[in-house]
Structure 1
């Protein structure tokens, strides 16, 4: 059984989840614009590096505050 964390879920077509599969972190990003993208990371540092470069405040309806919440949720996984 893998631990699954929902980082954000705006609706059924816009969400980000992280599954912890042993030492591997599997990030699934689902958007109505791009479909589903899946990335695997071997460390939290690698995942956070990706997230900090991937997301911008403009990507979120809540702007800077929602970006900070998303990054904090990823750090807590």
Structure 2
């Protein structure tokens, strides 16, 4: 049994989910540009480090609240 957490979903082609399978965290990122990317992490700190690098502040200039919401979603796991 695993838990699925939705970090964001803008439409059926742009979303990011995290599946918690025991100690393993699987991040599934679906975008209309890149298709589906899957990242597997063995610890929460490793996943948070990836998320902070993936969602860099300079990519969200003027949309800081959007970035904060995404990172808060990761932190809640």
* Fold match by TM threshold 0.5: yes
Question: Which residue in the other structure is 1:21 paired with?
Answer: 21
Shift of 1:22: 0.5
Shift of 1:63: 1.5
Shift of 1:64: 0.9
- Give the Cα–Cα distance (whole angstroms) in 2 for the partners of residues 33 and 56 of structure 1: 19
Count of aligned pairs: 76
Task: List alignment gaps of at least 5 residues for structure 1.
Answer: none
Q: How does 1:1-77 map to 2 (within 5 A)?
A: 1-57=1-57, 58=59, 63-77=63-77
TM-score by length of 2: 0.91
Runs of 4+ in 1 over 4 A off after TM superposition: none
